[in-house]
Amino acid sequence: KENIILPGINDNEKPEEIDTILPGVDNQYDNQNKEDENFVLEQKLQTGKKLSEDGLPVLMYHFFYDKSKDSGKDGNWIEISNFEEQMKYLAENDFYFPTWEQVENYIDGKQELPEKSIVITVDDGDPSFFELAVPIIQKYKIPTTSFVITYWYGNRANDKQDYVSYQSHSYDMHKAGSNGKGVMLSWDYDKIKDDILLSRDVLGGANIFCYPFGQYNDLDIKVLKENGYRLAFTTKGGKVKKGSSKYELPRVRISGNTGIEEFKKKVE
């Protein structure tokens, strides 16, 4: 299990105020409706192969930088031209982007997904996502989920962005407790519940969760399950498969040194 501690784990304070405006929230991608999504899925399944038993890659990104202006702080930062090369590859090679409902149905064995299905997730809601990555997401029409730490970044929601949807990375649990680990591991049921429901309120609706720092325990799973969250993601490496534990889902980490050839191997 790979639980990389991201910047902020030893800082219990909210980051400095930022000017970035978090777009408004919609649980479905703005460019699609449910009928369209199911129609496209059925067409894909009728005319092509099904997703292999290797499973569904759910990609995990974090932060972005422009090398002409800055440099990445660590391996969680990807240079924006590399990100664009990756998104262009997905767009030009007919990848399919299932909705979260379709992903859950796939896990439950209720439906198949087409070959070359993929999900894009970006953790935290950092300003670099909106400033650098969102224009590329829109350019190549790549449906993407932003897992937002809503105490830090989610209280300015007012606009919408095509191809971007928002889910919870907690309200204020992306910080260390007295034991040096994420507070979600030490808080009691009611405190965790209050946090994840407040996060949902700020987002205007959320039912997918991303564990702060990838850390979780049985109580965390219980709280999410009993309060309307349907899937939860870790930082474990791997692909989502039929029958996967829906509250311990793995992802495929894309780091700053992931070149295009390695990227192709990770997504296929």
Name residue 172's amino acid. D
Question: Around Cβ 161, how many Cβ atoms within 10 Å?
Answer: 19
Beta-strand runs (E) in 139-220? 144-148, 164-168, 208-210
Q: Reduced to 3 states, what is the DSSP secondary structure of residue 153?
A: helix
The mean per-residue pLDDT over the stretch 173-180 comes to 91
More confident site: 139 or 15: 139
pLDDT at 20 over 50: no
pLDDT at 157 over 90: no
The confidence score (pLDDT) of residue 33 equals: 63
More confident site: 33 or 242: 242
Placement of tokens 């784990």 in the chain: 9
Render pLDDT for 92-107 as a digit per residue (tens, 0 to 9).
999 999 999 999 999 9
The confidence score (pLDDT) of residue 218 equals: 98
From CA 231, how far away is CA 208, in angstroms rounded? Answer: 5
Sign of CA dihedral 231, 234, 240, 241: negative
- What are the Cα distances from residue 38, in Å, to 32, 45, 52, 82, 94? 10, 11, 20, 32, 17
Indicate the pTM of the whole model. 0.85
Placement of tokens 């989610």 in the chain: 154
In sequence order, the 6+-apart residues with CB closer than 8 A to the CB of 226 are none
The confidence score (pLDDT) of residue 179 equals: 87
Render pLDDT for 187-224 as a digit per residue (tens, 0 to 9).
999 999 999 999 999 998 999 999 999 999 999 999 99
pLDDT at 128 over 90: yes
The confidence score (pLDDT) of residue 31 equals: 46
pLDDT at 77 over 60: yes
From CA 64, how far away is CA 82, in angstroms rounded? Answer: 10
pLDDT at 9 over 60: no
From CA 164, how far away is CA 267, in angstroms rounded? Answer: 20
Give residue 113's pLDDT band: very low, low, confident or very high (50, 70, 90): very high
Q: Reduced to 3 states, what is the DSSP secondary structure of residue 22?
A: coil
Direct distance between the N- and C-terminal alpha carbons of the chain, in angstroms, rounded to an integer: 22
Name residue 97's amino acid. F
What is the DSSP code (8-state) at residue 147? E
Range with the poorest average pLDDT among 5-9, 51-55, 71-75, 188-192: 5-9
Type and span of the H or E element at 121: strand 119-124
Take residue 11 and report the two structure tokens written for it: 């800082």
Helices (H), 18-57: 34-47
Take residue 230 and report the two structure tokens written for it: 């349907």
Type and span of the H or E element at 252: strand 249-253
Question: Around Cβ 47, how many Cβ atoms within 10 Å?
Answer: 8
Instruction: Please state, rounded to an integer, the average pLDDT across all residues of the chain.
Output: 87
